[in-house]
Chain A
Amino acid sequence: MNDANNSRASINQETMNQQPLMNKRGLYVRRFLFIAIALVAVSFGAMFFVMSQMSQQIPSDLDTATSKPSVNSLYEVSYQPSEEPIPIGSLQTWLLEVTTPQGERVQDATVMVAGDMPEHGHGLPTSPVVTAQEDGSYLVEGLKFQMGGWWYTEFKISSPLGDDTVRFDFVLSK
Chain B
Amino acid sequence: MMQTGPRILLLLSILAVLIVVTVVTVRVLGQQPRWTDEEKAVLENLWLESLPPLPPDPSNHVADDGRAAALGQALFFDPRFSSNGQVACGSCHRPELNFTDGLPLAQGVGSTNRKAMTVVGTAYSPWLFWDGRKDSQWAQATEPLENANEHNLDRSSVVHLLATHYREPYEAVFGPLPDLSDSTRFHSRAGPVADTEAQAAWQSMAPENQETINQIFTNFGKAVAAYERTLQPKPSRFDAYVKAVLGQDAKAQNVLSDDEIAGLKLFIGEGNCTDCHNGPLFTTHEFHNTGVPEVEGLPEDLGRANGAKLVATNEFNCTSFYSDAAPEDCAELRFLKTEGHELERAFKVPTLRNVAKMAPYMHAGQFTTLGEVLNHYNTAPEAPAGHSELQPLNFSEGQLKQLELFLQTLND
Contact = CB atoms under 8 A, between A and B. Distances in A.
Nearest to A53: B269
A82 interface: no
A100 B299 CA distance: 54
Given A50-B32, A126-B335, A147-B275, A33 B11 contact: yes
B361 interface: no
A121 B12 CA distance: 58
A142 interface: yes
Size category, B interface: 35 or more
Interface in B18-42: 18-19, 21-22, 25-26, 29, 32, 36, 38, 41-42
Contacts of A124: 337
A158 interface: no
A71 interface: no
Nearest to B42: A174
A36 interface: yes
Contacts of A127: 335-338
A109 to B, nearest CB: 21
A4 to B, nearest CB: 15
B14 interface: yes
B269 to A, nearest CB: 7
Nearest to B38: A173
A147 B36 CA distance: 20
Contacts of B342: 121-123
Given A50-B32, A91-B331, A125 B278 contact: no
Interface string A115-159: 000001111111111000000000001101011110000000000
A37 B18 contact: yes
Contacts of A141: 335
Contacts of B41: 173
B297 interface: no
Interface stretch (A40-48, A62-70, A72-80, A161-169): A40-48
Given A43-B22, A50-B29, A174-B42, A126 B336 contact: yes
A40 B29 contact: no
A147 B29 contact: no
A44 B268 CA distance: 25
A76 to B, nearest CB: 27
Contacts of A121: 342, 387, 389
Interface bracket on A: 35 or more
Best-surrounded residue of A29, A54, A128, A141 (most CB of chain B within 10 A) = A29
Nearest to A143: B335
B175 interface: no
Nearest to A29: B11
B274 A174 contact: yes
B177 to A, nearest CB: 38
Given A142-B334, A146-B284, A88 B22 contact: no
A43 B18 contact: no
B22 A125 contact: no
Contacts of A9: none
B172 interface: no
A16 interface: no
Contact of B4 (A22, A46, A142): A22
Nearest to A142: B335
Interface string B373-385: 0000000000000
Contacts of A174: 42, 268, 274-275, 278
A173 B36 CA distance: 14
B288 interface: yes
A129 B334 CA distance: 9
Contacts of B4: 22, 25
A161 to B, nearest CB: 29
B389 A122 contact: yes
14 contacts: A29-B12, A32-B15, A36-B19, A36-B22, A39-B18, A50-B29, A88-B278, A89-B285, A121-B342, A122-B288, A126-B335, A127-B335, A127-B337, A141-B335
